Amino acid sequence: MNAMKETASPQSLSPEGEREMSDAGQTVLPSPLQGRGSKGEGQQNHALISPVSPRNSGLEAIRIRGGQSLNGTISISGAKNAALKLMCATLLTDQPLQLSNMPVTLGDLRTLAGVLSHIGTTAALRADGVAIFHTPEIKTPIAPYDLVRMMRASILVLGPLLARNHYAEVSLPGGCALGTRPVDFHIEGLRAMGADIVLEDGYIKARAPVGGLRGARYAFPKISHTGTENLMMAATLANGETILDNAAREPEVSNLAECLIAMGAKISGHGTSRITIEGVPALGGAIHPVLPDRIETGTWMIAVGLTGGALRLKNASLAHLGALLGPLGCSGVEIREENGDILATRTNGRCRGIDIMTEAYPGFPTDLQAQMMTMLTLCEGAGLVTETIFENRFMHVPELRRMGADITVHGSSALVRGVERLKGAEVMATDLRASVSLVLAGLVAEGTTTVNRIYHLDRGYERIVEKLAGCGAVIERVRG
Ligand code: EPU
């Protein structure tokens, strides 16, 4: 592959434009590790990057004056939950991996870039927006606590490291705002492939058998999105065949499988609940697009249900949003495709109450539950929201109540009785999707809403203020 020959002239990556130039003429940024006394050999040339310049968004807030309907065009970013896993695939090969449609300004990508750079990955962004990741060698197979604690998805380096390097130490991610969220399936599956794994000093210390991981059969006790991805990546370099049963069917899993196949992996059945991987001795580089973010797309479709108006969503696909279309349609939001764009419209009255229950794909996504609950706060009648994926995903409820919502929680279900109006308030949330649900509430609330702790939003929504302001919202980023 001739990756570097395609390099175009560099451009600014971020409003702050913090950047340096690599020998290859690419734009590179300083690693988040720099200045923390942890500079490793591979970081000397600054070719280890974080795709965004640091901004202390923990101290910032978003202020919204509610009452405007949304009208205009939003371009959907590449999917965070696809991009993160595709970045980890760089650890499986010593060849460059080129990823297009990368949502490079997201905080989560920056965090993962820090983990990867610590391990030995260089990364650069071309002028045409293609990000190039290259891991010629594994400099250290250790993903330390101070990096992993910032983002649970860092666990996704475990499978690739073990497959390529035959040894890995990854900090246990611990609990998070959504509940305990164990990683026992990741560990059990790698053990089934012959890995010797101990949990010591807060770390998962994993050693592959002599000669590398062995193909195995593993049935997930419960569907796990990242569990499936971790084991699928590990199995690409294992000896023999691996069969993963009760595998996750999320489009992001298929997007990763397609990238791995382009790198030379032998994978079939992705998109179904049985994935078969025939191990190969080595993987090469590839050029691969990140799929559009279905959760961002769904968020703006729900936003129109709430505010009324009409949004045109570009670089978006309805293909992976089947479970949202039914409820939105029943509720009174019209969704259709036109010239490759998605049009979301609500022109008549209030939306109607509907019931939803989250499920693994292709069911209703847990990542849209909070946004849908916000929409229901103003519905005609009532709606029942049942969360089956995570044990603690109603953190937005007390905040929505403070804005005047009528919500009663019974275990894993929340009964939302529609009210006439929400009132602006100071609110804050402890996870990404809860945070965006409060932004949506602010768009329709009377008066001013201030959403604090917005680093959660910056983890997963690119340029959220600019995108909404471009469609008529009165919204700004302020010091918290
Ligand atoms: N689970 C276990 N053991 C495991 C793994 C999972 O018990 O080893 C349980 C979890 O505790 C949970 C359920 O299985 O109750 C499903 O968890 P899953 O592993 O599918 O979730 P995840 O892979 O950790 C990803 C996304 C989440 C998204 C879920 C469900 C990424 C980086 N994260 O999490 O995204 O909600 O799948 O689709 O892909 C978000 O973007 O805001 C977000 C939280």
Give the tens place of pLDDT for each residue, 65-95.
999 999 999 999 999 999 999 999 999 999 9
Q: What is the DSSP string of 428-445?
A: E-SSHHHHHHHHHHHHHS
Mean pLDDT of the region 339-358: 93
Tell which atom from ligand 1 comes closest to the C-alpha of 431: 42
CA 224 – ligand 1 centroid, Å: 6
- Distance, in Å, from the CA atom of 63 to the CA atom of 476, rounded to the nearest integer, reads 5
Instruction: Using most ligand atoms within 8 A of CB, pick from 80, 81, 456 the residue to mutate for ligand 1.
Output: 81
* Segments making up each domain of the chain, as ranges: 3-65+78-289, 294-479
For ligand 1, residues with CB inside 6 Å are 81, 84, 153, 181-186, 222, 224-227, 366-367, 389-390, 432-433, 460
Q: Is the pTM of this model over 0.85?
A: yes
Residue 151 identity (one-letter amino acid): M
CA 131 – ligand 1 centroid, Å: 26
Number of other CB atoms surrounding residue 196 within 10 Å: 12
Q: What are phi and psi of 290, to 5 degrees?
A: -80, 135
What are the tokens at 240? 């023999």
Among protein residues, the one with the nearest Cα to ligand 1's atom 33 is 81
Q: What confidence score (pLDDT) does residue 318 get?
A: 95
Span 214-243, pLDDT tens digits:
999 999 999 999 999 999 999 999 999 999
Q: Is 144 exposed, middle or buried (0-12, 13-18, 19+ CB in 10 A)?
A: middle
Instruction: Using most ligand atoms within 8 A of CB, pick from 106, 148, 172, 225 the residue to mutate for ligand 1.
Output: 225
Tell which atom from ligand 1 comes closest to the C-alpha of 360: 38
- Distance, in Å, from the CA atom of 297 to the CA atom of 312, rounded to the nearest integer, reads 10
What are the tokens at 329? 């349609």
Cβ-contact 293, 80 below 8 angstroms? yes
CA 217 – ligand 1 centroid, Å: 21
Tell which atom from ligand 1 comes closest to the C-alpha of 248: 20
Domain 294-479 in the same topology as domain 3-65+78-289: yes
Give 430's pLDDT tier (boundaries 50, 70, 90).
confident
Among protein residues, the one with the nearest Cα to ligand 1's atom 9 is 181
Tell which atom from ligand 1 comes closest to the C-alpha of 186: 8
pLDDT at 280 over 50: yes
Cβ-contact 302, 368 below 8 angstroms? yes
Tell me the catalytic residues.
176
Mean pLDDT of the region 274-286: 98
350 CB-near residues (< 8 Å, 6+ apart): 332, 378, 379, 380, 418
Distance between start and end Cα atoms, the chain: 48
Q: What confidence score (pLDDT) does residue 128 get?
A: 80
pLDDT at 10 over 50: no
294 or 31, which is more confident?
Answer: 294
Residue 62 pairs in a beta bridge with 451, 477
Q: What confidence score (pLDDT) does residue 57 get?
A: 57
Tell which atom from ligand 1 comes closest to the C-alpha of 361: 38
- Distance, in Å, from the CA atom of 404 to the CA atom of 27, rounded to the nearest integer, reads 47
Among protein residues, the one with the nearest Cα to ligand 1's atom 37 is 225
- Distance, in Å, from the CA atom of 383 to the CA atom of 375, rounded to the nearest integer, reads 10
Q: Give the CA angle between residues 117, 121, 125 to the nearest 5°.
A: 95
What are the tokens at 339? 């010239």
Distance, C-alpha 167 to centroid of its chain: 27
CA 475 – ligand 1 centroid, Å: 31
Number of other CB atoms surrounding residue 228 within 10 Å: 29
Residue entry with tokens 């909070």: 370
Span 163-215, pLDDT tens digits:
999 999 999 886 567 666 789 999 999 999 999 999 999 999 999 999 999 99
HSE (side-chain half, CA atoms, 13 Å) at 137: 5
CA 182 – ligand 1 centroid, Å: 9
For domain 3-65+78-289, give the CATH number.
Answer: 3.65.10.10
CA 152 – ligand 1 centroid, Å: 9
Q: What confidence score (pLDDT) does residue 149 get?
A: 85
pLDDT at 11 over 80: no
Instruction: Using most ligand atoms within 8 A of CB, pick from 190, 224, 255, 367 the residue to mutate for ligand 1.
Output: 224
Cis peptide before 362 (omega within 30 of 0): yes
Q: Is 362 exposed, middle or buried (0-12, 13-18, 19+ CB in 10 A)?
A: middle
Residue 305 identity (one-letter amino acid): G
Secondary structure (3-state) at 137: coil
Q: What is the DSSP string of 367-430?
A: GGHHHHHHHHTTSBSEEEEE--S-TT--THHHHHHHTT-EEEEETTEEEEE--S--B--EEE-S
Among protein residues, the one with the nearest Cα to ligand 1's atom 39 is 81
Secondary structure (3-state) at 281: coil
CA 147 – ligand 1 centroid, Å: 19
What's the whole-number average pLDDT of the chain? 88
Q: Looking at domain 294-479, which CATH architecture does it have?
A: Alpha-beta prism (3.65)
Among protein residues, the one with the nearest Cα to ligand 1's atom 17 is 224
- Distance, in Å, from the CA atom of 471 to the CA atom of 70, rounded to the nearest integer, reads 5
Tell which atom from ligand 1 comes closest to the C-alpha of 295: 41
What are the tokens at 473? 């919202």
